[in-house]
Amino acid sequence: MAEASEAAPNLPNVLLLKPLAFPHVEAECSRNFLLLKAYDSPQPIHLFLSTHATSVSALLCSAGTPVTTETLRLLPCLRLIVTTSVGLDELDLSECRRRGIAVSNPGAIFADDVADLAVGLLIDVVRKISAADRYVRRGLWRVEGDHPLGNRLGDMKVGIVGLGNIGFKVAKRLEGLGCRILYNSRKKKSFVSYPYHSNICDLASRSDVLVICCALTDQTRRMINDRVLSLLGKDGVIVNVGRGAIVDEEELVRFLLEGEIAGAGLDVFENEPYVPKELFELDNIVLSPHRAVFTPEALQDLEELVVGNLKAFFSSQPLLSQVVFE
């Protein structure tokens, strides 16, 4: 750290507890700020944080980096957390609110790409695209005849769970494909006319598909449980681009294996990168390795937003994407 300080004495300090999930973002930040990399230090983390406690006012992190009350208490001068993750479940938001620590995240910059993947997963599951691809590649078309039919997407009632930036983009795309949209969210949205269901069970009972777009919180953890899956029914489909733990994964696997729901498109899992092995043999499942946000365009936007938020903070300007605490 001493060499870095001598090389760039006028750059403001930004703390990193772990490497960012986006290396190019970290590289760009290193050209604009002095990155204090706790993960590179031979010191135990608590000693490293104590050493830099009075010089750290901004922390940069990504998914997989919990920022706990204990960590925050070692950083008495911290005034900003910039996270590259839309989800905030790994940050102690209550302590941030109490301390007046501002939080910024990617906001809406990932919304289009995640919505595209959600719709892609749904189309794939309903029309059996990946399953048919495997059928052709294995030479079964010639031997066993036509592949089982898929269903028409346009007739489906799609329940959006979480009508935020991503959920709204999913709804607009599917509305354009002829789907009927319903939704569940913390609050009714005044800017849409879609039917609102405050109870997730009511939404499931009236939907052919549930698309999970909400954040992981104490209230949403395993919200999609056996009761919800039962109400969705044998012809129902789950698409999850939110967080794996919003769905009771064990129950989802059981329902799929027993044919109690028709299929699923999953970009997220409860214990990533570990995926229940039972899913690998099912043809009515489409699996994606948590890559919904990973497009070159989104990563470029993320780089500009992260650097922009940090520059705004250090120049006492409004943040570009500040999280509003409720």
Domain ranges in the chain?
Answer: 2-109+296-314, 111-287
Mean pLDDT for 106-131 is 97
* pLDDT over 90 (residue 2): no
Catalytic residue among 272, 278, 291, 297: 272
* pLDDT over 60 (residue 242): yes
Q: With bands split at pLDDT 50, 70 and 90, how would you rate the model's confidence at 35?
A: very high
Q: Return the HEC string of the chain.
A: CHHHHHHCCCCCEEEECCCCCCHHHHHHHHCCCEEEEHHHCCCCHHHHHHHCCCCCCEEEECCCCCECHHHHHCCCCCCEEEECCCCCCCECHHHHHHHCCEEECCCCCCHHHHHHHHHHHHHHHHHCHHHHHHHHHCCHHHHHCCCCCCCCCCCCEEEEECCCHHHHHHHHHHHHCCCEEEEECCCCCCCCCCCECCCHHHHHHCCCEEEECCCCCCCCCCCECHHHHHHHCCCCEEEECCCHHHECHHHHHHHHHCCCCCEEEECCCCECCECCHHHHHCCCEEECCCCCCCCHHHHHHHHHHHHHHHHHHHCCCCCCCECCCC
Proportion of the chain above pLDDT 70, given as a percent: 97
* pLDDT over 60 (residue 143): yes
* pLDDT over 70 (residue 44): yes
Mean pLDDT for 71-85 is 96
Position 155 scores a pLDDT of 87
Rounded Cα gap, residues 55 and 8, in angstroms:
15
**208-223 per-position pLDDT tens digit:** 999 999 999 999 999 9
Mean pLDDT for 227-242 is 98
CB 212 within 8 A of CB 159: no
Catalytic residue among 243, 249, 251, 303: 243
* Selected residue with higher pLDDT from 2 and 27: 27
* pLDDT over 50 (residue 264): yes
111-287: CATH topology: Rossmann fold (3.40.50)
Residues 6+ apart with CB under 8 A from 81: 58, 59, 60, 61, 67, 91, 96, 101, 102, 103, 104
Beta-sheet strand order (sheet of 34-37) = 34-37, 13-16, 58-61, 80-83, 102-104
Residues 6+ apart with CB under 8 A from 319: 80, 102, 104, 309, 312, 313
Rounded Cα gap, residues 10 and 33, in angstroms:
9
Domain spanning 2-109+296-314: CATH 3.40.50.720: yes
Q: With bands split at pLDDT 50, 70 and 90, how would you rate the model's confidence at 10?
A: confident
pTM above 0.95, yes or no: no
Position 154 scores a pLDDT of 94
Position 3 scores a pLDDT of 39
Check if 290 is active-site: yes
Check if 24 is active-site: no
Catalytic residue among 99, 127, 290, 304: 290
Dihedral of the CA atoms 224, 230, 236, 240 (nearest 10)?
10
Q: With bands split at pLDDT 50, 70 and 90, how would you rate the model's confidence at 325?
A: confident
The average confidence (pLDDT) of the chain is 94
Position 8 scores a pLDDT of 52
Check if 26 is active-site: no
Position 21 scores a pLDDT of 87
Two domains, one topology: 2-109+296-314 and 111-287: yes
Nearest Cα neighbor of 87 from 114, 69, 56 is 114
